[in-house]
Structure 1
Amino acid sequence: MKLTCTPIDGVMVAETSRVIDHRGAFARLFCEQALSEVLGGRHIVQINHSRTSQAGAVRGMHYQHAPQAEMKLVRCLKGRVWDVAVDLRKNSATFLRWHAVELSEQNELMMVIPEGCAHGFQVLEAESELLYLHTALYSPELEGGVRHDDPVLNIDWPLEMMDISTRDKTHTLINEDYCGVEL
């Protein structure tokens, strides 16, 4: 796995390659040893899968508060998505900045999103599927979110936004009093 840093500290893109022959293809989706420096002693404790039917659909922007703050590793298994990480760490040099990468089954990239960053995505191709690896268990009482359309973040979504859950539409907007996420 080849790791590339992004402008946001701790947000990385992992690149894998597949071996293709007459039988088909093989790719390693996760290797704890190859990602040991990124994981820093964390372990994957939960793996989730999502399928989103409609192109243009937006999911996010989600995170978990401490003590269940989590690192996420996100990979697209089918289709294409615009995957976005937003830095919500109040003492970070990139506080309230976002970074996006297109993830697809063809490019086999994986986004690494550290604790304190919100995650979301927009489906670029119908019936897209994502695999999420988490370093903390899901805790509904500790979930948090910021609005995907918050003018403070000004995320540049590539398609018209549609098919957004009620929960994601009702996250509060960031204002001048917003002080970020405690880790």
Structure 2
Amino acid sequence: MIFTETKLKGAFIIDVKRLEDERGFFGRAWCKKEFQEHGLNPNAVQANVSYNKVKGTIRGMHYQVAPYMESKTIRCTSGAIYDVIIDIRPDSPTFKQWIGVELTEESFRMLYVPEGFAHGFITLKDHTSVHYMVTEYYTPGAEAGIKFDDPAFNIQWPIKADVVSDKDKSHPLFDEKLFKLK
């Protein structure tokens, strides 16, 4: 596995190191030891799948608050997404900064999202599926979100959002004075 740290401390792009031959390739998509060597939480307790019918579907920006904060490893298994994370750790030097990474079924690329980040994506193709490995169980009372088009972050989505759930539309705008992660 090839780990590349992003500009956001603790967030990594993970590429499969491919061993190729006439059949195609073989590569490691998960290794607890390699995650530990990079200081990443390898203790996935749940795997989730998201299927999205149409291009332009937004899911996000989601996170869980303490003591149920989670890290996630995201991979697009069919179609393509523009995956976005925001550092919402108040003590971080990259607090309120975001990055976007294109994940496609062809690239096998993954994004590691540390605890204390909001996460969301927009689908770039119809019939897109996303696989999540998470380090904490989904806990309804601990779930939270930030509006995907919040001007506090000015996320540059590559295409127009056509499908957004009522729940995601109703996430509040970020207010630093009221914000609590822990």
Fold shared by both chains (TM-score > 0.5):
yes
Structural mapping, 1:30-109, within 5 Å? 30-38=30-38, 40=40, 42-109=42-109
Partner letter of residue 129 of structure 2?
A: E
Written as runs of structure 1 = structure 2, the 5 A alignment for 1:1-183 is 1-23=1-23, 25-38=25-38, 40=40, 42-182=42-182
CA shift for structure 1 position 162:
1.5
Q: Is residue 49–residue 131 contact of structure 1 (8 Å, CA) maintained in 2?
A: yes
Distance 1:41 1:84, change over 3 A: closer
Q: Distance in 2 between matches of 1:163 and 1:96?
A: 25
Work out whether residues 5 and 12 of structure 1, in 8 Å CA contact, stay in contact via their aligned partners in 2: yes
State the TM-score, normalized to the length of structure 2. Answer: 0.93
For 2:175, the aligned partner's letter is: N
Q: Give me the CA root mean square deviation.
A: 1.6
**What are the Cα deviations for residues 24-80 of structure 1, in whole angstroms up to 9, with x where unaligned?**
554432111221234556511000111111101110000011111000000111111
- Decide which moves more: 144-153 or 33-42: 33-42
1:22 Cα deviation (Å)? 4.8
Identity of aligned residues (%): 38
The AA in structure 1 aligned to 2:136 is: A
Which stretch has the larger CA shift, 37-46 or 129-138?
37-46
Is the partner of 2:164 in helix, strand or coil? coil
Classify 1:41/1:168 alpha carbon distance in 2 versus 1 (closer, same or farther; 3 Å): closer
Deviations 1:107-147 (A, max 9, x none): 11110001110000000011111110001111011001000
Distance of 1:123 and 1:80 partners within structure 2:
6
Whole-Å separation in 1 of the counterparts to 2:180 and 2:42: 23
Q: TM-score, with normalisation over the residues of structure 1? A: 0.92
Change (3 A) 1:35 1:52: same
Which whole-Å CA distance do the structure 1 matches of 2:65 and 2:37 have between them?
A: 23
CA separation in 2, counterparts of 1:55 and 1:40? 31
- Equivalenced residue count is 182
1:77 counterpart letter in structure 2? T
